[in-house]
Amino acid sequence: MILSSPVLWLYLVLLAPASGAVLSQVPYPRASEIVARVTSLLALAAGGALLALPGAGTFGPYFGLDRLSDLFLFMVAAVYASSTWFSRGYLSHVDRPFLTPERYYGLLSAFALAMLFTLSVSDLGLMWIGVEGTTVASALLIVLERKPASVEAAWRYTIIASAGLTLSLFALLLLYRETGTLDAFTLAAHPPPLTGSLVLVVGLALVGYGTKVGLFPMHTWLPDAHSEAPSPVSALFSGVLLPTALYAFLRVYDVVPQPVPAALRYLVIVFGLVTALVAAFLLQQQRSFKRLLAYSSMENMGVATVGVGLGGLALYGALLLLVAHAFAKSSAFYSAGTVLRRLGTTQMSRVRDLRHRLPATGAAWALSGLAVTGTPPFGTFFGELFILSGAILDGQLAVAGVLLLALVVAFLGVNAQLGRMIFLEDPQGPSPRLSENLGETFLPWGNVLVALLLGLVSLPYLSEAIRAAAGAIPGGIP
């Protein structure tokens, strides 16, 4: 009976990473790693249980769950667990790391805790604190390899993300002044009348949280941080941090009374479209495979933002895209981490013939490349299809056209570059096959298969959960 109580799982999903952050400080690296692994699995179990239980409601004045938060909690918990398990092999190759394993696992757990906290609260002020907390917890993780470029990237991330988030805090002050409450559920149920002040709130929140989502032109921290962070952390950044920030914006956007005025919808759509288009073209000129993946994340977030702006079926597509992308992109970053460890470079021109040198990793990477660019039958394909369909059904043919262009350009860019690394033979002759262990290949394969299953059989249960999540949002599908 007690197992069917959502509050139990809500506590567990927060307490697990919190205890991981504290208990992993034991001065024994192996013990620290075991603690982090166990607590991440507990968080995943709690996230899964919340997704399985029916809608929960609010818990006290500050916590609250609905199907949307349940879905995101599960997604964050899953990538947190896989990144924690993937970390061991990755850490072993880092010379003179900036962080000891205890500090690394402690900060990784704190980073996950900040994201899970953001998704568990109904108070928009606490939600802001959670998003800002992700910056504090994750900035030092970027410096793990102690390179000048990684310190520079962490610096830019800290300053740009924090500066942007201050704008969203200002938006929340204005919202509080307008409504006298910051409870997201109350505000969504009883939206305030549309005023100039509310328009300013949405605009500031879009720019503020959009900085963390990676929307153009506030995206400049994103490729640096994603490319310089260790791969398990990059997977968390790309897979779940960006969607968590988009979730925070979505909760503010929910406050706008329905139907959302065309000017506000276009504001969100244009930010998303320009982001997707700019990222699609920028990723063509990348030389580092990690930056390529970072720009691909930016492109996906732009597409998802368009879905949020369009609402209805497109919003459903945006959620499906975010979930499938989280699994696919984390898989891509794990493979990238293995390639970096084995070959010692992130330069795409120096990586060739992976299908012979690292066959299992190369194959997982090829699949994840197809997945993150919306190839059928991956879940991302259906997500993008729903967004495009939503735009066409809404009569937004120009939006659909530009979006399609961005999707095609990104598809060609990512897969052509990954294809060269995987299938082209090394001009200097065949290279020997390198060893791969189960720890390196299991998680990239596991995560990309989840993205595949999301599309292939649409996992009836998870698909239903996404539909329910979209229905939880005013303006979402009925």
Q: Which stretch binds other proteins (CB under 8 A): 37-45, 74-82, 178-186, 316-324?
A: 178-186
60 is a contact residue toward other proteins (CB under 8 A): no
Q: Considering the complex, what minimum distance in angstroms separates the CB of residue 204 from other proteins?
A: 9
231 binds other proteins per the rule CB under 8 A: no
Residue of 16, 75, 99, 154 that binds other proteins (CB under 8 A): 154
Count of Cβ atoms closer than 10 Å to residue 327 Cβ: 30
x-or-dash string of contact with other proteins, 248-287, rule CB under 8 A: ----------------------------------x--xxx
Residue 446 burial class via C-beta count within 10 angstroms: exposed 0-12, middle 13-18, buried 19 and up:
middle
| Beta carbons within 8 Å of 357's beta carbon, 6+ residues apart | 342, 343, 431, 432, 433, 434
Residue 34 binds other proteins (CB under 8 A): no
For position 350 contacting other proteins by CB under 8 A, the verdict is: no
Listed in sequence order, the residues at least 6 apart from 32 whose beta carbon sits closer than 8 Å to its beta carbon are 24, 25, 26, 101, 102, 105, 106
33 lines the binding site for other proteins (CB under 8 A)? no
Q: Does 4 bind other proteins (CB under 8 A)?
A: no
- The correct pick among 113, 126, 303, 462 for binding other proteins (CB under 8 A) is 126
Q: How far is it, in rounded angstroms, from Cα 160 to Cα 221?
A: 7
Binding status of residue 289 toward other proteins by CB under 8 A: no
Cα 246 to chain center, whole Å? 9
Measured CA to CA, the distance from residue 357 to residue 436 in angstroms comes to 9
- Candidates 39-47, 133-141, 320-328, 419-427: pick the segment binding other proteins (CB under 8 A): 133-141
Interface residue with other proteins among 174, 270, 405, 456 (CB under 8 A) is 174
- Residue from 48, 55, 97, 125 touching other proteins (CB under 8 A): that is 125
Strand partners, 59: 63
Which single residue is written with the structure tokens 């459903």? 316
Other beta carbons within 10 Å of 397: 10
Give 1's Cβ-side CA count (13 Å radius). Answer: 0
> How far, in Å, are 104, 293, 297, 360, 411 from residue 141 at the CA level?
7, 19, 19, 28, 30
Q: Which residues pair with 57 in a beta bridge?
A: 65
Instruction: Write down the least CB distance from residue 200 to other proteins, Å.
Output: 4
Size of the site for other proteins (CB under 8 A): 54
For 151, half-sphere exposure in the C-beta direction (CA atoms, 13 angstrom radius) is: 6
Q: Is 345 among the residues that bind other proteins (CB under 8 A)?
A: no
In angstroms, give the least distance from the CB of 136 to other proteins: 4
Is 408 a binding residue for other proteins by CB under 8 A? The answer is: no
182 binds other proteins (CB under 8 A): yes
Closest to 79 measured CA to CA, from 296, 232, 230: 232
Q: Residue 347: helix, strand or coil by DSSP?
A: strand
User: Among residues 18, 43, 139, 465, which is the contact residue for other proteins, using CB under 8 A?
Assistant: 139
**Cβ 122 vs Cβ 185: under 8 Å:** yes
Please give the residues from 195 up to 224 whose contact with other proteins meets the rule CB under 8 A. 195-197, 199-200, 223-224
**Out of 26, 159, 404, 457, the residue judged to bind other proteins by CB under 8 A:** 159
From candidates 163, 397, 416, 424, binder to other proteins by CB under 8 A? 163
CA end-to-end distance (rounded Å), the chain: 31
Interface residue with other proteins, options 75, 143, 360, 418 (CB under 8 A): 143
CA–CA distance, 428 with 163 (Å, rounded to integer): 48
* Binding-residue pattern over the window 66 to 105 for other proteins, x denoting contact by CB under 8 A: --------------------------------x-------
Q: Which of 120, 158, 275, 331 binds other proteins (CB under 8 A)?
A: 158
**Interface with other proteins (CB under 8 A):** 98, 123, 125-126, 128-129, 132-133, 135-136, 139-140, 143, 146-149, 151-155, 158-160, 162-163, 166-167, 169-170, 173-174, 176-178, 180, 182, 195-197, 199-200, 223-224, 227-228, 282, 285-288, 291, 346
